[in-house]
Amino acid sequence: MKTLHYSIIVIACIITISVVWYLTSYDPTPVTTENNFGIHALVVHSPPYMACPTEDCRQPDYYLKMNSKLKTVLVGYNVCDGNSCVEKDDLAVSLPLEDVLHPDYAKLPLPDDLSWKDGDSVNIWVKVPNSSMIGGTLYFDFSNAQNVWIDLGKSEIVRSS
């Protein structure tokens, strides 16, 4: 009889913890694959530099390199390789516009403790302010200040040259 009571208590605790975890980690931000801004992003692996002219010239091992065809602000990102994820919220990074003649990119450092390798496949999501295209013009929806996740799909980690 004691075993039954203990089993019920353990199961109730597991269910309670699962419900609390779900409610505290739930992100109601909508997800879309419609990339109105023409955002391009990839994860770059930057090998450690051997010769540094100064003592503190440490560069991140990995960074997210991004730009877009239309002006927008990056407010968050989520990069996952299937085993681990890197997520950052509460950003306000203006993405540089794509320009073939004068390439410019936002480079956001990622944590150094990633077990990723060159060639690994990652899925990239970016969070931007909600917008819509009407007659070829892009309009931001600031009325409710809602953001949207854009699923940019799979990308391969590339090594910087």
Q: What is the mean pLDDT of the chain?
A: 80
Q: What phi and psi, each to the nearest 5 degrees, are found at residue 17?
A: -65, -40
Distance CA 37, CA 52 (A): 38
DSSP 97: B
Q: pLDDT digits over 114-139, tens only?
A: 888 888 999 999 998 876 555 656 55
Structure token pair of residue 151: 């699923």
Q: Answer whether residue 42 shows pLDDT above 90.
A: yes
**What is the per-residue pLDDT for 12?**
77
- Could you tell me which of 59, 58, 91 has the C-alpha nearest to residue 74? 91
Least confident of 9-23, 28-42, 100-114: 9-23
pLDDT class for 113, splitting at 50, 70, 90?
confident
- Could you tell me which of 65, 91, 75 has the C-alpha nearest to residue 130? 75
- Report CA dihedral (69, 33, 82, 114) to the nearest 10 degrees: 20
Q: Answer whether residue 54 shows pLDDT above 80.
A: no
Residue type at position 79:
V
pLDDT class for 44, splitting at 50, 70, 90?
very high
Q: pLDDT digits over 60-99, tens only?
A: 788 999 999 988 889 899 999 988 899 998 888 888 888 8
Residue type at position 59:
Q
